[in-house]
Amino acid sequence: MAGETIIAGIGVSEGIRIGRAYRLDEPAAAGGTSREAESASSAAGRSGKQSQPAAVGEAPSPLDAAAEERRLEQARDRSAEQLEALAEQARERLGDDKAAIVVGQRSFLSDPAFYPAIAKLVREEGRSAEEAVREVVERFAGKFEAMSNAYMRERAADIRDVGKRLLDALRGEDAQAGLAGLREEAILVAEDLSPSETVQLDKRYVLAFVTRTGGKTSHTAILSRSLGIPAVVGAGDPLDAVRTGDTLIVDGASGHCIVRPDETTIREYEARMVAERDRLAAERETRLRPAQSADGRRVEIGANIGTVAEAANAADSGADGIGLYRTEFLFMGKDRLPDEEEQYAAYREVAVRMEGRPVVIRTLDIGGDKALPYLDLPKEANPFLGYRAIRIGLDREEWLRTQLRAIARASAHGDVKVMFPMISGLDEWRRAKRLFDEELAKLRLEGKPVAERIETGIMVEIPSAALLADRFAREVDFFSIGTNDLVQYTLAVDRMNEKVAPLYDYFHPAVLELIKRVIDASHAHGKWTGMCGGMAGDPLAAPLLLGFGLDEWSMDAGSIPKVKRELAGLDSGACRELAERAVTLDTPEAVRAELKRYASKV
C-alpha cells in the first residue's frame, strides 16, 4: 500500500484523534447486510445481531414475579431515557423525519397497549421479562407487518428496535452503544451517517468519524459537535481508498485526515493531542467560575436546552441559567398536544432544577421544517417562510394560551421568562404579549401562584425585527438574537442546504450591523440583549460580541467552558475597538481575518 496520504475534508467537530479505521460500509464489517436494508432500523441492526436471539438467563430463577416486574420497569425507564436523549439530540435543529423516528419509538413505551401487555405476562404468567418483551414485540410487529399502509408496516422495524433496546437494558447493556459490530476504539469511516445514527455513536468506541459526503451545516455535523466527537465530512472520493485497519489521523478542526501516516507525522500529532488535552483540562477547571473578561466585565452565560434532563447538565457545565428552552420537544414526543398540567410539570421542573437562576422559555417554534404529525400542517413550498412558530400560535390562539398559562405557573418556582419566536413586527409581539397578560390575570383571579413580575421578550431572528429594534425596545424586557435563523433570512441562505453552506456566515457585515443595532437599541432603553444562536458558542466571535456589549450568551452546554475561557483572556475596551473596526469591514472573510489576528495577539 502507498505511504502517507492527506485527504482534505471539511472539519466540523474539533479534536485530534489517531486510530484504526473501521469502515461502516464494508459488507464484511457490516455482517453481510446492505446498509440500505438496515438503515431503517437502529444502528445495532448493522451487526446483523438483531435476528439472533438475545442472551437470556439473567432473570432470577425461580422467578419472583414482583422482582421481575421491577427489572422490567427499570429497563423501560432506562430505554425511555435513552430514547429521549437520542431524540433530543436528533431533533436539535432538525425536527425532521429522523427525529420523528426516535420520538415514535419513545412513544411505544408509553403506549397503553404495549408495555402493560408485557408487564401482564410477567405478573400473571410468571414469564421472564426477556420472554415477555420478545413475545409482545413480535405480536405487535406481526400486526404492523400485516397492514396495507406502508408507513404502518415500517413501524414493525421500529417496534423491534424498541424491543432490542429493552432487551439490552435488561442485560445491563447500553443500547446507545450502537454500531454493535464495533467493540474496540476506532475511527469510523462511512459514506454518510444519518443524524439518528450519529446520536447513537458510542464515544467509548468511536474516536472520530470521517464521511465521504456531507457539509458543514449538515445535521450530522451539528450532532457530532454536540456529542463531542471529532469529525470530518465531505472527504470525497479519496476516502474510498481507506480500508478497515488502516491507521488514520483525524483533525476535526482543519478537516485533514491523514491515511497511513508515517512515524514522524504520528509523533507530531501525538504532541498536538497532548496540548489539546491540556487546553480542555484547563477549560473544565474554569467552567464553574463566573464568566468575565480579564478587566472584570461580567456577562451571563446561559445554556440552550430542549428537555428537562438537560437542565441538570446545564448547571453542571457552568451555566448561569437557561438562555433558551426550546419547548418543541415536549410537543414532539406525543400523539397530541400536551395539556397545561403536562407542560407546567416540565417547565416547573426546569425552574426548580435551576434553583433561582433565569430560565427563558420559548413558546412553541414548530412548523417549517419541524413537523408535528398530529397537527396536520399543510405542505408548503417555502416552509421557512411559511406557517411556523408564533404565526401558528397566534392563529391557533388556544394552544398558545395553554402554553402561556403553564409557563406563568412555573414562574412561581424560579426566575422564569417568556420568549416569543419568529417575531417579524410589533403587532405580533403585542398580540402575543396581550394573550400572556390575559392568562396571567386569569391565573391570579383563580388564586394560582405566579411570580410578581415575569419578564417577556422576543427572539430577533427576522431582519425586520432587528431593523425595528428601537421600537421593540420600548416595549419588551429583553431581546435574544437567534443567529441561526437571522443569518438565513438576512442572507437568503437556507440553513439546511449544503450547496449554499459557504454563504451561510454570521460574520457577514450585514448580520453584524443587525446585531449591533439590536444591542444598542436595548441598551438605549435600559433593556438587555442575549444571543441564543450558534454564534454565541463560537469563541472566535467572543471578542466581537463582548465589544458590541452583548449581555447574555446562550449556547449548547458543551461550548460553555471554551467560551468562558476565551472571555477570561479578553479586555473589554480593546474588544470595543475591535468591534468598531469589524463593522467597517466589507466581507465575512475580512472580519474573520481581523478576529483571527486579534485572537493570535491575545
Residues belonging to the chain: 602
- Whether the upstream peptide bond of residue 261 has omega within 30° of 0, thus cis, is no
Residue from the set 104, 252, 333, 482 that interacts with ligand PEP by CB under 6 A: 482
Q: Minimum distance from CB of 107 to Mg ion (Å)?
A: 25
Residue 533 near ligand PEP by CB under 6 A = yes
Our finding on whether 566 is near Mg ion (CB under 5 A) is no
CB neighbours of residue 451 within 10 Å? 18
Binding segment for Mg ion (CB under 5 A), chosen from 71-79, 202-210, 456-464, 555-563, is 456-464
Assess 158 for contact with Mg ion (CB under 5 A). Answer: no
> Does the footprint of ligand PEP cover residue 484 (CB under 6 A)?
yes
Locate 483 and state its grid cell.
443567529
Nearest distance from residue 128's CB to ligand PEP, in Å? 44
Query: Looking at 219, 256, 413, 508, which residue is catalytic?
Result: 219
The grid coordinates listed for 439 are 392568562
Q: What are the grid coordinates assigned to 455, written together?
A: 419578564
Among 131, 300, 461, 505, binds ligand PEP (CB under 6 A): 461
Q: How far apart are the first and last CA of the chain?
A: 44
Q: Please answer whether residues 232 and 221 qualify as being in contact, where contact means their C-beta atoms are separated by less than 8 angstroms.
A: no
532 binds, among Mg ion, ligand PEP, none (CB under 5 to 8 A by kind): ligand PEP
Candidates 291-299, 470-478, 481-489, 558-566; binding stretch for ligand PEP (CB under 6 A): 481-489
What sign results for the dihedral spanned by CA atoms 50, 52, 55, 60? positive
The distance of closest approach from Cβ of residue 365 to Mg ion in the complex, given in angstroms and rounded to an integer, is 6
- Rounded CA-CA distance 370/389 in Å is 10
The verdict on 532 binding ligand PEP (CB under 6 A) reads yes
Question: Using CB under 6 A, which residues numbered 59 to 98 contact ligand PEP?
Answer: 93
The three cell numbers of residue 312 are: 441538570
Cell triple for 137: 414485540
Of the listed pieces 30-38, 427-435, 447-455, 478-486, which binds ligand PEP according to CB under 6 A? 478-486
Whether the CB-CB separation of 76 and 117 falls below 8 Å is answered with no
Active site residue 523: no
Q: Residue 556, interface with Mg ion (CB under 5 A)? A: no
Location of C-alpha cell 418543541: 328
Specify the stretch interacting with ligand PEP by CB under 6 A; choose among 63-71, 164-172, 480-488, 578-586. Answer: 480-488
219 is catalytic: yes
Residue 85 host element (H or E):
helix 65-91
- Helices 97-109 and 150-170 pack at an angle, to 10 degrees, of 60
Exactly one of 161, 168, 415, 485 binds ligand PEP (CB under 6 A); that residue is: 485
* Contacted by 326, from Mg ion, ligand PEP, none: CB < 5 to 8 Å by type: ligand PEP
Burial of 358 (0-12, 13-18, 19+ CB in 10 A): buried
Given the residues 413, 508, 532, 575, select the one marked as catalytic.
532
Residue 533 binding result from Mg ion, ligand PEP, none, given CB thresholds of 5 to 8 Å by partner type? ligand PEP
Cell readout for 567 is 472571555
Residue 181 CB, nearest approach to ligand PEP (Å):
34
Residue among 535 and 591 whose Cβ is closer to ligand PEP: 535
> What CA–CA distance (Å, rounded) separates 250 from 273?
11
Q: Give the list of residues 6+ apart from residue 543 with CB closer than 8 angstroms, or none.
A: 566, 570, 574, 575, 578, 579, 595, 598, 599, 602
Q: Which of the ranges 54-62, 223-231, 476-484, 555-563 carries the binding residues for ligand PEP, by CB under 6 A?
A: 476-484
**Which partner in ligand PEP, Mg ion, none is near 483 (CB below 5 to 8 A by kind)?**
ligand PEP
* Of the candidate residues 428, 455, 461, 594, the single one contacting Mg ion (CB under 5 A): 461
From CA 198, how far away is CA 10, in angstroms rounded?
A: 17
Side chain identity at residue 408, one-letter code: A
The residue within the footprint of Mg ion, chosen from 261, 358, 367, 482 (CB under 5 A), is: 482
Question: By C-beta, is 88 or 461 nearer to Mg ion?
Answer: 461
From residue 578, how far is each of 262, 529, 542, 573 by CA, in Å?
A: 42, 20, 11, 9
> Which residues contact Mg ion by CB under 5 A?
461, 482, 485
Active-site residue list: 219, 532
> Which residues contact ligand PEP by CB under 6 A?
93, 324, 326, 365, 461, 482-485, 532-533
